[in-house]
Amino acid sequence: RVIEPELVVTSATRVIEEAFELNNPSTATSDFKEQVKRVLWQAYLRKSMLGCSITADPKITEARLSNGLVKGHAYSITRVADVTTNSGSITLIRCL
């Protein structure tokens, strides 16, 4: 049986979980993206526990991406930063 990482954390710490699915086309609006960014920054500034993961294909285990991240693994978000480039502003997160 596979136990979802977020269930372990919420059960052990009795915290409130708020999850956002970023790759869902029906929620990929600019309003949704701004809401996620706002919640992310508020939680980061309050020193809340933040985490993320990449949905894995159940048929493929340990699928490593070109950036070094592994699908299905849980990562802690340790830093949030807004960066301005020639093409606009982007929010970056550091994951461990």
Question: For every one of its 96 residues, what pLDDT tens digit does the chain have, with 9 covering 90 and above?
Answer: 444 555 555 555 666 778 888 888 787 788 998 999 999 999 999 998 899 999 888 888 789 999 999 999 999 999 999 999 999 999 999 999
Contacts of residue 52, Cβ cutoff 8 Å, sequence gap at least 6: 74, 75, 77, 93, 95
Q: Tokens 């960066």, residue? A: 83
Residue numbers of the domain that contains 37: 5-95
Tally Cβ neighbours within 10 Å of residue 43: 15
Contacts of residue 61, Cβ cutoff 8 Å, sequence gap at least 6: 72
The domain that holds 42 is classified in CATH as: 3.90.70.10
Q: How many domains does the chain have?
A: 1
- Hey, what long-range contacts does 41-46 have (CB within 8 A, 24 or more apart)? 41/80, 41/91, 44/77, 44/79, 44/80
